[in-house]
Amino acid sequence: MCGIVGYTGQRQAYPIVLKGLKRLEYRGYDSSGVALLKDKHLKVFKKKGKVAELEESLIGTDIDANIGIGHTRWATHGEPSDRNAHPHTSKSGRIAMIHNGIIENYALIKQDLLKKGYSFTSDTDTEVLLNFIEDIQTNNDCTVEEALRIALKRVTGAYCILLIEQDNPDTIIAARKGSPLVIGIGKGEHFLASDASPIIEYTKEVVYVNDYELAIVKPDELVLKNLGNEKVTPFVTKLDMDLAAIEKGGYDHFMIKEIFEQPSTIFDCLRGRLDVKEGSIKMSGVDDNIEQLLNANRIMIIACGTSWHAGLVAEYIIEELCRIPVEVEYASEFRYRNPIVNKGDVIIAISQSGETADTIVALEKAKENGAFIFGVVNAVGSSIARISNAGAYTHAGPEIGVASTKAFTGQLAVLMMVALNIAKHKKTISQEKYDGLIKELQLVPEKVDAILKNADEIKAIAEKYKDASDFLFLGRGYNFPIALEGALKLKEISYIHAEGYPAAEMKHGPIALVDETLPVVFIATNDAYHEKIVSNMQEIKARKGRIISIITEGDSISKELSEDAFAIPATDEIIAPLLTVIPLQLLSYYVGTAKGIDVDKPRNLAKSVTVE
């Protein structure tokens, strides 16, 4: 939610900030803006709409400056508009600030400031915080840095803020709590951003700022401090990412590029871990903590959205293979109820971004109660990766399309390996079954590749059904969460109402929706439930529903029952979700693009949900 960029150095700031905002647009795209500082003169430009609209509006404008900050917004307080766009300027016009997060007690602070005669030009919590800082500075006759520190001790909520001030013409002051901030270290220059993508083309040396830290950033100097004004030593890490990974590489959209990357991202995820010859899975996060995992009273999986669906697949697999009770929780529910968490519980946190606010808070709560946190995270060095006691990265590379695709299959692959690893140590799986499953897992990249070669078949199906107003997705067993995922993907990318259901549960309500206009997508691969799901298909057919099915190659029974069928290679039912989800990702992509939707930036969504 919201992307922020900053630059201070010898180069022109605007092109760097603008390019960075384009890279961060996946975090929010309802308005954007920049503030530039030149000769103690602040210039602020902002515009409703995508970053390209801001760029267009600034053609011919004087944007000369060597220091600047920029913001791309996902609205929380106040509608998307020019006036609510960031940066905001303080009452005196001396300070400009951008913010990613939510100041929860902003209303009370605003009341006080209104009494003092302040007025506001926007509806945002950010403008309130900024004037609060300026008010503290005026009353205490202190520096902006000092005022910021005092203000941050009095606000609740989450923030990553960058500010520049007229009287400090080469300095960006930044602070973070709950929303990410990375600082890139160049030669005589520094780059600041919500993630590393705006930085990677200039430097690979970065510092991840921690919660409750302030950064005072000049071209030649980076000082980190805590809120107690004590210096903190910056920990410099090297980015393991290249530029190609964050560019479209000839594809029309990031989403389709990321779908087609899956043979290699799944391969990368398995590489160095799965060894079929040796019959082993090596994962240091599991191996180094095996006692903790083997002795778990239960496993709780905490996640949101697509990551939560990966958690549901993992529940079925871990209970089957490891015989450990598993509960899967929405992070947003877990954090506000009074859950029972004890020492000896293992929490698996699943997150692509590693920055989802609800998941972070839920994990902190579980950690306080003594739970052991195992993170399954894609974004290296992210908050959730750092909160976790141990974990395994999904190695899917940067995922830019708002709809999660390759990160999901990375999560499934990691969770399958974790389950197999625990089961082997716990001796709850036979050697034969274990060997068979790791062989099948090894074959997934080439089977995904085979599915993608037939993407045009899905494209034709998408064209045929794109005008439907509703879709139903049905699956059973390991494929039930894939039905949920198929429905979520279609909703977010095509704006078509879709529901995912366990196929048998459909009789308890959703069957009332079925008529000759309703497309019903069955995930009906050959598994222990196959006969049962064939009966469910008969029930839909009897009511004239339009059946689209994902079937195993050679399954003529399901094919005959379907108006359209897409065949995937055979595999073990435990591994099947890694294959069955691919045609559903393609279906949502092709329906979305056929409807002319900007699938990488669908309305109202943001890639990284850093607000609750």
The residues assigned a catalytic role are 2, 607
* Shortest CB 408 distance to ligand M6R, Å: 8
String of contacts with ligand M6R for each residue 253-292, x by CB under 6 A: ----------------------------------------
Contacts to ligand M6R from residues 491-550, by CB under 6 A: 492
Q: 247: exposed, middle or buried (C-beta count within 10 Å: 0-12, 13-18, 19+)?
A: middle
Q: Which two tokens stand for residue 325?
A: 């009770």
Closer residue to ligand M6R (CB): 265 or 352: 352
Does 197 interact with ligand M6R (rule: CB under 6 A)? no
> For residue 369, which phi and psi values (nearest 5 degrees)?
-85, 10
Instruction: Give the residue among 382, 340, 400 at the shortest CA–CA distance from 27.
Output: 400
* Shortest CB 88 distance to ligand M6R, Å: 27
Closer residue to ligand M6R (CB): 136 or 483: 483
Q: 582: exposed, middle or buried (C-beta count within 10 Å: 0-12, 13-18, 19+)?
A: buried
Identify the residue whose tokens are 């949920």. 484
Cα radius of gyration (the chain): 25
Q: 454: exposed, middle or buried (C-beta count within 10 Å: 0-12, 13-18, 19+)?
A: middle
Instruction: Give the residue among 359, 66, 92, 328 at the shortest CA–CA distance from 219.
Output: 66
Does 179 interact with ligand M6R (rule: CB under 6 A)? no
Closer residue to ligand M6R (CB): 217 or 458: 458
Point out which span in 46-54, 250-258, 352-360, 365-373 binds ligand M6R (CB under 6 A).
352-360
Does 490 interact with ligand M6R (rule: CB under 6 A)? no
Strands 372-377 and 390-393, bridge-based pairing: parallel
Does 609 interact with ligand M6R (rule: CB under 6 A)? yes
Does 402 interact with ligand M6R (rule: CB under 6 A)? yes
> For residue 322, which phi and psi values (nearest 5 degrees)?
-105, -15
Does 359 interact with ligand M6R (rule: CB under 6 A)? yes
Identify the residue whose tokens are 């609510």. 84
How many whole angstroms separate alpha carbon 303 and alpha carbon 407?
13
Closer residue to ligand M6R (CB): 152 or 611: 611
Closer residue to ligand M6R (CB): 215 or 402: 402
* Shortest CB 584 distance to ligand M6R, Å: 12
How many whole angstroms separate alpha carbon 329 and alpha carbon 372?
16
* Shortest CB 404 distance to ligand M6R, Å: 4
Closer residue to ligand M6R (CB): 383 or 479: 383
The count of chain residues that interact with ligand M6R, using the rule CB under 6 A, is: 16
Does 352 interact with ligand M6R (rule: CB under 6 A)? yes
* Shortest CB 308 distance to ligand M6R, Å: 7
Q: Which two tokens stand for residue 295?
A: 């002795």
* Shortest CB 205 distance to ligand M6R, Å: 25
* Shortest CB 610 distance to ligand M6R, Å: 9
Q: Which two tokens stand for residue 167?
A: 């009287």
Contacts to ligand M6R from residues 285-344, by CB under 6 A: 304-307
Closer residue to ligand M6R (CB): 23 or 48: 23
What letter represents residue 353's amino acid? S
- Please check whether residue 474 is in contact with residue 502, taking contact to mean a CB–CB distance below 8 angstroms: yes
3-state DSSP percent of the chain in helix, strand and coil, to 5: 40, 25, 35
Q: Which two tokens stand for residue 358?
A: 């609800």
* Contact positions vs ligand M6R (CB under 6 A): 304-307, 351-353, 356, 359, 402-404, 492, 605, 608-609
